[in-house]
Amino acid sequence: MLSLIRLPRVFTINQVPKVFHEDSIISGYRHPRSSATDCVLSLFQLTNETLNIWTHFLPTWYFLWKLVTVVLMQTAWQDSFTWPLVIFLLSCCIYPLASSCAHTFSSMSARARHICFFFDYGALSFYSLGSATIYSAYVFPDKWVNGVFHHCYIPFAVFNTLICTGLACYSRFPEFQSPKFSKRLRVVAFAYTYLFVNIPLFYRVFLCVGDGCTDNDTNFLHYNHIALAFLTGFLFATHLPERLAPGSFDYIGHSHQLFHVCGILATHFQMKAVEQDMATRRPWLLEHSIPITLSNSLGAALLCMLVNLIIIGLYSLPLLSAPVCQENKYSKSLNKVQHKVCSCS
């Protein structure tokens, strides 16, 4: 069937505008003014984005299955104790789906690329709030439960999530002139949010000693999650292995693909650890922990989603209202390159 369809051709780094360049990726680029149809067709050909898309699109359905299972089997609407898990699983569905869509349609234009990744960043920051919600409900070490930090944790997590979205979206504007500064700003935005959210977990598994440390079998799963999460960050920040051999990992094995795989595996272990904590600690937490209410669970999630969409909209407006002459220039330049290539062949 696919043999009857003319798949879009791919280009080298010198044939596309700088805004589409990826560090140490030399070939496999799609046309920078691809149609939506071409973007979808590119899912079925090998480009430097193909595995970026599939490594997040397929796990979306796994997490969606988990979410539906919790809602239907555990009757989440009747049990407020499961609300944080539902929020977390919802964020686990949203962030890989947003990422796969961003990678799919980012080659439609320069402005589409920026806006697609605005949604990607917003979804990732919402995932951090989903993680904070389950940590507050199920993971806090016994000695911190119902303490001052526990009461402040969710409000600070909401604030940090919105700051993360704002900084990550802003980082795309200086990307053309200062790509290294832009990348560092994104790394800082997500690293800071991740480190804050995981304060109670890090204290529980690495620092806490004595009574009230919640030292149980679940900690092994938490160790797996933490190791994979740090590996994910390392791959994102270093662009290894393609930086060691530019052009050798353009299609398979470059850092962003590995980053996606490690991130999904980290989320899987995080989910398994939290489900085990939720089951084993439930009686004690229901008696001693902060009551789970609409305001500190579903309300916080809805507020975060709404403000994130507003932030994305505010950053998108200047791009949507900007003249298209710059993109037309890119398109003309590409057509000239294509004409030269065709003439020489």
What is the pLDDT, as a whole number, of residue 331?
39
Q: Angle between the 218-238 and 255-288 helix axes, to the nearest 10 degrees? A: 150
- Show the tokens assigned to 322: 């900007």
How far apart, in whole angstroms, are the C-alpha atoms of residue 155 and residue 162? 11
pLDDT at 339: 40
Residue 324 is predicted with a pLDDT of: 60
Separation between Cα atoms, residue 334 and residue 126, nearest integer Å: 37
The pair of three-digit structure tokens given for residue 88, joined into one six-digit string: 């977390």
The domain ranges of the chain are: 50-320
**Would you write out the chain's pLDDT as a tens digit for each of its 345 residues?**
445 567 889 999 999 999 999 999 999 999 999 999 999 999 999 999 999 999 999 999 999 999 999 988 877 778 899 999 999 999 999 999 999 999 999 999 999 999 999 999 999 999 999 999 999 999 999 999 999 999 999 999 999 999 999 999 999 999 888 888 999 999 999 999 999 999 999 999 999 988 888 888 899 999 999 999 999 999 999 999 999 999 999 999 999 999 999 999 999 999 999 999 999 999 999 999 999 999 999 999 999 999 999 999 999 999 988 776 554 443 343 344 334 333 333
Write the CA distances from 114 to 106, 236, 254, 332, integer angstroms: 8, 18, 22, 21
- In the prediction, which pLDDT does 341 show? 33
C-alpha triplet 10, 252, 262: angle, nearest 5°: 130
> Any idea of the CA torsion for 166, 168, 174, 178, to the nearest 10 degrees?
150
- All residues at 6 or more sequence positions from 249 whose CB lies less than 8 Å from its CB, including other chains: 24, 25, 241, 242, 255
Helix boundaries (H) for 211-254: 218-238
**Segment holding 272, helix H or strand E:** helix 255-288
Question: CA-CA distance, 235 to 227, in Å (whole number)?
Answer: 12
Instruction: Please tell me the distance from the alpha carbon of residue 256 to that of residue 144, in angstroms, as a whole number.
Output: 37
Output the pLDDT for position 97. Answer: 98
Query: Which two structure tokens, joined as six digits, stand for 17?
Result: 């505008």
CA-based angle 67:63:251, to the nearest 5? Answer: 165
Q: How many CA atoms lie within 13 A of 158 on its CB side?
A: 17
DSSP-based three-state secondary structure for 25 = coil
Cis amide leading into 241 (omega within 30): yes
Query: Computed from CA positions of residues 141, 143, 146, 147, in that sequence, does the dihedral angle turn out positive or negative?
Result: negative
